[in-house]
Homo-oligomer: A and B are copies of this chain.
């Protein structure tokens, strides 16, 4: 099984940090040549050519804040608008299943552009007030900052990226996978959980596996990372070895967790009708972990 591209990576835009921090440069680029990413709420709008649709800044609601996504290869500034209808709402839920189908139509580069834009617009929609003093905030640095409007506070807030560990666990040639209640029937995937303050990635992996499956692990190895804009995670994918295969499953977190053989995982990745379980979908870094393990 061949390695996949990590979904949501490989953006075709240059983030152009030097533009964000220079109001004059940014203003000069906010012109009639600039491109506006078309969004349907927080979902992508895809043209008949299968690519992301772009318009001009004239299309943006005049009340909308503009987020500078970066420069296109031809030097045009690319923006997304924070739709006033999203303000104070945004989205923290996992994506609508129909959204997966839409996203599956995009090229990897376009998917990465959409993912970055979605994470940023969603963050602006959900971060309207200063967490420190409660006053309103305003967009700054082309959308890579929000600043408190209370002069006595003037706190600066930055788009949030939440590191999440996601891990395959191996014991005696078999792989531990689990089912979350929201999964489609028969789907099993890698266990996962947020990294907390005060722990390394490796400690977070060990804690999550112990909390959810009751087993101790050793030799935690980093495999890959993925930006995951639902709403703003950085998936840090790891592989670990279990000290035992005796599971004690946390049923408040998981419907089930089971050990699967290499043949089971291969059949699931191939989508065979009699496979022991349904594999995680193509965009998920969990699928990359399974593929990496099968190929190891």
* A residues at B contact (CB < 8 Å): 6, 8-11, 15, 17-18, 88, 90, 112-113, 115-117, 119-120, 123, 126-136, 144, 155, 157-163, 194-203, 207, 211, 222, 224-227, 229, 232, 234, 236
Contacts and interface: CB of A to CB of B under 8 A. Distances in A.
Contact of A196 (B15, B128, B222): B15
A238 B194 CA distance: 21
A198 B126 contact: no
Given A18-B211, A115-B198, A197-B232, 17 more contacts: A11-B199, A90-B132, A113-B198, A123-B197, A126-B132, A126-B155, A127-B131, A128-B134, A131-B157, A134-B134, A158-B194, A160-B160, A161-B195, A199-B227, A200-B227, A201-B236, A236-B236
A129 B119 contact: no
Contacts of A199: 9, 11, 116, 227
B131 A161 contact: no
Contact of A8 (B11, B113, B198): B198
Question: Considering residues A18, A203, A232, which has the most beta carbons from chain B within 10 angstroms of its beta carbon?
Answer: A203
A186 B126 CA distance: 43
Contacts of A123: 197
A201 B225 contact: yes
A162 B11 CA distance: 21
A222 B222 CA distance: 7
